[in-house]
């Protein structure tokens, strides 16, 4: 058989083949013979067949992607999502930049929602009461879902088959794992680490307050976990129903969204660019700083007040984040135990604080 006959047979084979996914953007195409363009990105499919594939000496492997560019070949296949090892993912710039972008979007959305209530308040006192209303705070917590949407959208570019379930799995939010992985086991590990986290934060807070008293010569009333006055005010104004509502939000929304963003995306990317310890520490620092922005909203505070408030809260948050990061690494980058720990740590903390305020 001469070369012309081989090329003729190959072209017949290619012309009958239905494109399953676009070779450029990965979009799943409708099963139509001789489709000329991708309906999403507009790439000329016939051009690729005639100018790229048909110049190969034998018909290519047309599996899921009839033609794969060099970038497509680097994307993660379905069967490899749970076995990434040290595979490079998003770089340090995106590992940090995407979470910051998500945080800015969340703050913007929170501001927009709050602005809708401004016409219904007549003075600063009413506005303050609204901002510290436990139900209003719980509702605003739903804006943290942006922490899920932004990284989930972004990681699709690293997958050969970027369906929603694969995106969540890549970030570690999955009930699948290795042969020894059992979801119930992860739940109990998460609960145990939540209790450990409470003890750790208590000890770190106690130690930091003693050190600051010795260095600065000031008297600090021990709080057992930082001194975010706004949380104190919210809990002081809560009833049982509001407390239950807040606890549910902490478990279902806050723990899940923050861990997907900080551990599932940020730490997962950073450990592959700056190393295990570097990724864990950088994530812990940024996690702590983002949670302390509210400190600088305190009115009529002196510089020493800001400094004390920052130090009293940074180190407990930092210690907690290190523990969360270690758990994520230990559980082989699966988020189930980590999410359980974070959510129940928050819930148990506000319950303890509520009981404390009920007794004083």
46-60, 65-79, 341-355, range with the lowest pLDDT: 46-60
The rounded distance, in Å, linking the Cα atoms of 347 and 248 is 7
Contact 194, 341 (CB under 8 A): yes
Strand partners, 44: 37
What's the token pair of residue 352? Answer: 């303890």
9-13, 57-61, 243-247, range with the lowest pLDDT: 57-61
Whether residue 26 is predicted with pLDDT greater than 70 in this model: the reply is no
| pLDDT confidence of residue 53 | 46
Whether residue 109 is predicted with pLDDT greater than 90 in this model: the reply is yes
Contact 143, 106 (CB under 8 A): yes
| pLDDT confidence of residue 352 | 84
Tally Cβ neighbours within 10 Å of residue 297: 9
| pLDDT confidence of residue 64 | 41
217-226, 239-248, 290-299, 314-323, range with the lowest pLDDT: 217-226
| pLDDT confidence of residue 192 | 97
Residue 197: pLDDT band (50, 70, 90) is very high
| pTM of structure | 0.76
Backbone φ/ψ region at 268: left (φ over 0), alpha (ψ -120 to 50), beta: alpha
Strand partners, 37: 44
Whether residue 96 is predicted with pLDDT greater than 90 in this model: the reply is yes
All structural domains of the chain with their residue ranges: 3-74, 87-359
Q: What percent of the chain has pLDDT over 90?
A: 42
Whether residue 69 is predicted with pLDDT greater than 70 in this model: the reply is no
Which residues, including other chains, have CB under 8 Å from residue 66's CB and lie 6 or more apart?
17, 19, 20, 21, 23, 53, 60
| pLDDT confidence of residue 355 | 80
Q: Taking CA 41 as the corner, what is the angle to CA 37 and CA 44, rounded to the nearest 5 degrees?
A: 30
Whether residue 4 is predicted with pLDDT greater than 60 in this model: the reply is no
Which 3 state secondary structure label does DSSP give 159? Answer: strand
Please classify residue 237 by burial: count the beta carbons closer than 10 Å to its beta carbon, then call 0-12 exposed, 13-18 middle and 19+ buried. Answer: middle
Place of tokens 């959305």: 109
């Amino acid at each position: 058989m001469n070369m012309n006959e081989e090329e003729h047979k190959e072209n017949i084979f290619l012309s009958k083949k239905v494109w399953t996914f676009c070779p450029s953007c990965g979009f799943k195409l409708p099963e139509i013979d001789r489709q000329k363009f991708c309906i999403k990105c507009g790439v000329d499919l016939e051009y690729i067949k005639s100018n790229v594939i048909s110049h190969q000496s034998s018909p290519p492997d047309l599996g899921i992607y009839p033609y794969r560019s060099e970038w497509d070949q680097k994307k993660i296949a379905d069967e490899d999502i749970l076995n990434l090892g040290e595979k490079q993912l998003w770089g340090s710039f995106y590992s940090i930049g995407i979470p910051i972008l998500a945080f800015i979007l969340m703050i913007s959305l929170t501001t927009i929602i709050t602005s809708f209530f401004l016409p219904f308040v007549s003075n600063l006192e009413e506005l303050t009461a609204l901002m510290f209303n436990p139900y209003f705070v719980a509702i605003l917590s739903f804006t943290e879902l942006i922490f899920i949407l932004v990284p989930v959208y972004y990681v699709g570019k690293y997958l050969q088959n970027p369906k929603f379930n694969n995106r969540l799995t890549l970030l570690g939010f999955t009930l699948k794992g290795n042969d020894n992985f059992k979801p119930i086991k992860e739940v109990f590990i998460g609960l145990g680490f939540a209790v450990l986290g409470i003890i750790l934060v208590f000890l770190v807070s106690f130690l930091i307050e003693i050190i600051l008293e010795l260095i600065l010569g000031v008297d600090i009333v021990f709080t057992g976990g930082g001194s975010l006055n706004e949380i104190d005010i919210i809990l002081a104004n809560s009833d049982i129903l509001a407390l239950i509502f807040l606890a549910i939000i902490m478990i279902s929304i806050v723990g899940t969204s923050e861990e997907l963003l900080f551990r599932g995306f940020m730490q997962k990317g950073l450990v592959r660019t700056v190393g295990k310890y570097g990724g864990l520490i950088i994530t812990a620092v940024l996690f702590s700083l983002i949670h302390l922005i509210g400190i600088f909203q305190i009115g009529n505070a002196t510089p020493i007040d800001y400094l004390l408030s920052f130090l009293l809260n940074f180190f407990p948050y930092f210690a907690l984040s290190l523990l969360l990061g270690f758990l994520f690494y230990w559980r082989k980058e699966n988020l189930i135990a980590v999410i359980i720990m974070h959510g129940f740590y928050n819930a148990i903390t506000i319950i303890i604080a509520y009981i404390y305020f009920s007794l004083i």
